[in-house]
Amino acid sequence: AQKVTQAQTEISVVEKEDVTLDCVYETRDTTYYLFWYKQPPSGELVFLIRRNSFDEQNEISGRYSWNFQKSTSSFNFTITASQVVDSAVYFCALSEGAGANSKLTFGKGITLSVRP
């Protein structure tokens, strides 16, 4: 069965610090997708990134970057120069296969607080 572990539960940083959110996953499939979502206090889920299992290239999008390492089954997320608006709960998620009924399994989430 698929599983996503976000060992960190709460992280507090001061504005402009860099912060890395860890994600470790388990799956038996060779084809799978990994996701990161942001959930601000309002509750909606904001999509950040999707990465398939065959693409290990790291990605950078502005202040966000992701490090995907299949050897350690990790998909870590780094926010550079954090800002107060980054305060939210961040979820890592996994879906197996590429079929139409693939369901997402979420980690427990990491609450990030960025202090001014």
Partner 1 sequence: GAVVSQHPSRVICKSGTSVKIECRSLDFQATTMFWYRQFPKQSLMLMATSNEGSKATYEQGVEKDKFLINHASLTLSTLTVTSAHPEDSSFYICSALQGANGYTFGSGTRLTVV
* Footprint on this chain of partner 1 (rule: CB under 8 A): 33, 35, 37, 42-45, 47, 50, 91, 95, 98, 100-109, 111
Q: Is 4 within 8 Å of 25 (Cβ atoms)?
A: yes
Given the complex with partner 1, which of 22 and 80 has the nearer CB atom? Answer: 22
- Amino acid identity for residue 100 in this structure: A
C-beta of 16 vs 52, nearer to partner 1:
52
Length of the chain: 116
Torsion, Cα of 30, 100, 60, 109 (10° steps): -90
Nearer CB in complex with partner 1: 33/79: 33
State the nearest-atom distance from the C-beta of 42 to partner 1, in Å. 8
Compute the distance between CA of residue 96 and CA of residue 104 in angstroms, rounded to an integer: 8
What is the nearest approach in angstroms of partner 1 to the Cβ of residue 55?
14
